[in-house]
Amino acid sequence: MSAAAEQSQALIRLRGISKAYGSGDALTYALHGVDLDIAKGDFVSIMGPSGSGKSTCMNILGCLDTPTSGQYVFGNVEVSRMSRQELAKLRRYYLGFVFQGFNLLNRTSALENVELPLMYRGTPARKRRQLARHALKIVGLEGRESHTPGELSGGQQQRVAIARAIVTSPAVLFADEPTGNLDTARSHEIMELLSGLNQEKGITIVMVTHEPDMAAYTKRIIRFVDGKVAEEQHS
């Protein structure tokens, strides 16, 4: 396949992305000229030591931060030129997020936690409940809709968080250390779930992890060192 054809199939394209902090003698680069393509349906893990730039890259990909320079294209839209309101709209309608700490509302049921992104969209209550129940069923939590986070195990809480992330049918799911707070058995269960969502539902997933055995579930491993892509490995 030609380079032009490969580029046309990329859902995400980063070209020369840099992120600098400070100025003058205190100027430091978290990212320095990063080029990266992610195709629709890909499952990518981003790895690297502390301070390598992997989290900064994830924040830029997820539109939670903006680059100092370079070009970020999502689909056919240049994200690097978007306003703050446009970035918020892109996150709301096209991106899903899963975090290490689950980020669930403690006194709120699993169903209501999953409904939250749909509330921000203005989805009617009946439709919200229907979609949230379906998302919980997909992650294996049918029958646990009324349970609060305190009544669920860590692995179950992360399943609720994944259901919340996919209830909007996002184009990309970003997972930041999704197994970081789980034991080994639950970690593998979560990775099998994410792998299934990728393979069976075609959801594009980008995951930051420091665990090689978790990265082994993904199709590609991108390793960052000193703010640059140092290595790319296909699983």
pTM for this one?
0.91
At 26 the pLDDT is 86
Average pLDDT of each block of 10 consecutive residues along the chain (235 residues)? Answer: 48 96 88 96 95 94 94 93 91 92 92 95 94 96 96 95 96 94 94 95 95 96 96 86
Containing H/E element for 31? strand 28-39
The b-or-e profile of 122-161 (16+ CB within 10 A means b, else e) is ebeeeebbebbbebbebbbbeebbebbbeebebbbbbbbb
At 1 the pLDDT is 36
Angle at 218 between CA 75 and CA 202, to 5 degrees: 45
At 3 the pLDDT is 41
Tell me the C-alpha distance between 75 and 91, whole Å.
14
At 24 the pLDDT is 84
Instruction: For residue range 210-225, list pLDDT tens digits in order.
Output: 999 999 999 999 999 9
Give the fold, CATH level 3, of 40-66+84-234.
Rossmann fold (3.40.50)
Tell me the C-alpha distance between 193 and 106, whole Å.
23
Helix, strand, coil % in the chain, rounded to nearest 5 = 40, 30, 30
Instruction: For residue range 92-135, list pLDDT tens digits in order.
Output: 999 999 998 889 999 999 999 999 999 988 999 999 999 999 99
Find where tokens 């390793």 sit: 223
Burial of 83: CB neighbours in 10 Å, binned 0-12, 13-18, 19+: exposed
At 6 the pLDDT is 43
Beta bridge mates, 117: none
Find where tokens 């305190």 sit: 150
Sheet containing strand 77-78, edge to edge, reads: 28-39, 10-21, 69-74, 77-78
Beta bridge mates, 69: 18
Burial of 57: CB neighbours in 10 Å, binned 0-12, 13-18, 19+: buried
Task: Name the residue ranges covered by the structural domains of the chain.
Answer: 40-66+84-234
Please count the residues of the chain. 235
Token pair recorded at residue 143: 């029958």
Containing H/E element for 205? strand 204-208
Find where tokens 């490969």 sit: 6
How many other C-beta atoms can be found within 10 angstroms of the C-beta atom of residue 200? 9
How many other C-beta atoms can be found within 10 angstroms of the C-beta atom of residue 193? 18
